[in-house]
Chain A
Amino acid sequence: MTRYSALALLHGALHGGRSWTRAWRDPEPKPSYDFVIVGGGGHGLATAYYLAKNHGIRRVAVLEKGWLGGGNTGRNTTIVRSNYRLPENQLFYDYSLSLWEDLSRELNFNVMFSPRGVLFLGHSDHDMSQLAERGNAMLAQGIDAELLDREAVSRFVPLLDCAPDARFPIQGGLLQRRAGTARHDAVAWGYARAADALGVDIIQNCEVTGFETNADAITAVRTTRGAIATRCVGLAVAGHTSHVAALAGLRLPIESHLLQAFVTEPLKPMIDTVVLSSAIHCYVSQTDKGEVVIGGDIDFYPSYSQRGSVARIAETAAQAVSLMPALGRLRMMRAWAGIMDMTMDGSPIIGPTPVDGLFLNGGWCYGGFKATPASGVTFAHTLATGTPHVLNAPFTLDRFEAGRLLDEKGSGATPQYH
């Protein structure tokens, strides 16, 4: 692997770009592996990387039915934050944020992590007391949080409509300065390249079609490129968790829903932070290319179609324009939808399943992208040692049976409302 550096860039430039080698191999699947990770998105690739790096396990394959990062890793709004309310989520996502801060150096790949701050807006007394409560809970865990009044919000994001007669009047906001955005594709590519360099086989165009078991223990994975023997499989397939797990006879506390996002034409820098309104659930940020990225609610019904309703686009655009009237003149360039596996309590599942040797990493709801590094570390730990990492111990599948739900929003077993 060519190490990326300023010197390598200069060398590449002087040699007409011919000195660059491919970033990862394209190996044929071997007949057997110690560990097989299903899903070549950020989570699967990060898991493979940390299996090799933290646990010295090199006989690892990542199987991807399409191309790397072609699922939800490339279908999100790239927001990274840890402003959660429940201690289990706070510890997990803040550990993830701390890994993001050093990820470009760790992977020798620029993931363009930009701690530009994430601002949650409050539109009422109730919103403000909820934000204050959340901020206090964050400070109690040592996570940075600042409560801003309306004037401070207006200074921080001048384009917001802070007039008292605005459609959604802004009273203030909760700011996490360490939070921000990252380049989503680079996360998949960076982990893929670093994992490959440690000997992990990344196999694309290889769809898993079934599992072979003996006495309820995994013995092999059937794929479109032949059977692969293994005793340990980690699923990291995002919105497809339910039907891939069903191949092993499992039924899960998950429903798959659509989440849409869209970008406008590129502009000069106008928003240097991330703005979210938790009350109307609209979020706005600007990429380094200049496009304004806008996201909103899910489409509120189960779907695997990866395309959403125009009505949701219109609603989210109206919300964004009401928050930031300057957006009203922009043309929308692209819209896309990802499949979210929404769990019954709104928190992810990372841990063992009733099938021996089959481990699950899924149910990320809206929160998958920011969780990528911590998900990789904790899932790799769980796979390598057979026991949970202290940070993913609360996120087991059996918490529903045990009644240890992690319901951040308190909306119960209605996955569309988390």
Chain B
Amino acid sequence: MHQFNCPFCGQRPETEFTYIRAMESIPRDIVADAAQELERIYYRTNSRGPSSELWQHSSGCRSWLAINRDTVTHAVLEIAPIGPHAIAP
């Protein structure tokens, strides 16, 4: 089981967090190309190893978190707050 070090709450168990989606699938700009949009909505790298993902500390401070995680070892490589109001804790 993962232990995530929430930037606001400290070390907390996986059960407090919710995986939202792969970072690569989040729209960030308007693309005119349909094939590009198709890739973004439906296709995934689905990495066996480091994976960049959006999570939420849903049963905690409810902050949105960018987590880089190894999908084989479950090692948490990086965890950072996300969004326009994200502040360094």
B29 CB to closest chain A CB (Å) equals 18
B26 CB to closest chain A CB (Å) equals 12
> Given that A252-B43, A302-B51, A400-B42 are known contacts, is A311 also in contact with B71, CB under 8 Å in the complex?
no
Residues of A within 8 A of B2 (CB): 309
How many Å lie between the Cα of A251 and that of B39 in the bound state?
9
B53 CB to closest chain A CB (Å) equals 7
Are B72's CB and A251's CB within 8 A?
Answer: no
B14 CB to closest chain A CB (Å) equals 6
> Given that A243-B48, A303-B74, A305-B71 are known contacts, is A344 also in contact with B22, CB under 8 Å in the complex?
no
B46 is contacted by which of A242, A401, A416 (Cβ under 8 Å)? A242
A332-363 vs B, Cβ < 8 Å mask (1 yes, 0 no): 00000000000010000000000000000000
Which bucket holds chain B's interface residue count? 20 to 34
B11-41 vs A, Cβ < 8 Å mask (1 yes, 0 no): 0011100110110010000000000001101
Residues of A within 8 A of B87 (CB): none
> Given that A252-B44, A253-B42, A254-B44 are known contacts, is A300 also in contact with B71, CB under 8 Å in the complex?
no
Are B25's CB and A302's CB within 8 A?
Answer: no
* Chain A CB within 8 A of B88 CB: no
A401-417 vs B, Cβ < 8 Å mask (1 yes, 0 no): 10000000000011010
* Chain B CB within 8 A of A33 CB: no
Are A255's CB and B46's CB within 8 A?
Answer: yes
A interface secondary structure, majority:
mixed
Q: Which residue among B2, B51, B71 has the maximum number of chain A CB atoms within 10 Å of its CB?
A: B71
A337 CB to closest chain B CB (Å) equals 12
* Chain B CB within 8 A of A256 CB: yes
* Chain B CB within 8 A of A10 CB: no
* Chain B CB within 8 A of A24 CB: no
**Chain A residues numbered 245-264 whose CB sits less than 8 Å from any CB in chain B:** 251-256
Residues of A within 8 A of B42 (CB): 253, 344, 400, 413
Residues of A within 8 A of B48 (CB): 240, 242-243, 256, 304
How many Å lie between the Cα of A379 and that of B13 in the bound state?
43
A226-251 vs B, Cβ < 8 Å mask (1 yes, 0 no): 00000000000000101100000001
Are B14's CB and A400's CB within 8 A?
Answer: no
> Given that A302-B19, A309-B14, A416-B19 are known contacts, is A252 also in contact with B73, CB under 8 Å in the complex?
no
How many Å lie between the Cα of A414 and that of B21 in the bound state?
7
* Chain B CB within 8 A of A140 CB: no
* Chain B CB within 8 A of A310 CB: yes
Residues of B within 8 A of A401 (CB): 38
Closest to A314 in B: B15
How many Å lie between the Cα of A164 and that of B39 in the bound state?
49
Are B22's CB and A255's CB within 8 A?
Answer: yes
Are A311's CB and B18's CB within 8 A?
Answer: no
Chain A to chain B contacts (Cβ below 8 Å), 21 pairs: A242-B45, A243-B48, A251-B43, A252-B44, A252-B46, A253-B42, A253-B44, A256-B46, A256-B48, A300-B18, A301-B19, A302-B51, A302-B71, A305-B74, A309-B2, A309-B14, A309-B15, A311-B14, A311-B15, A400-B42, A414-B21
5 tightest CB-CB pairs across the interface, nearest first? A242-B46, A301-B19, A253-B42, A309-B1, A400-B42
Supplied contacts A242-B44, A252-B46, A302-B51, 4 more A-B pairs, CB within 8 Å: A254-B46, A300-B18, A302-B53, A400-B42
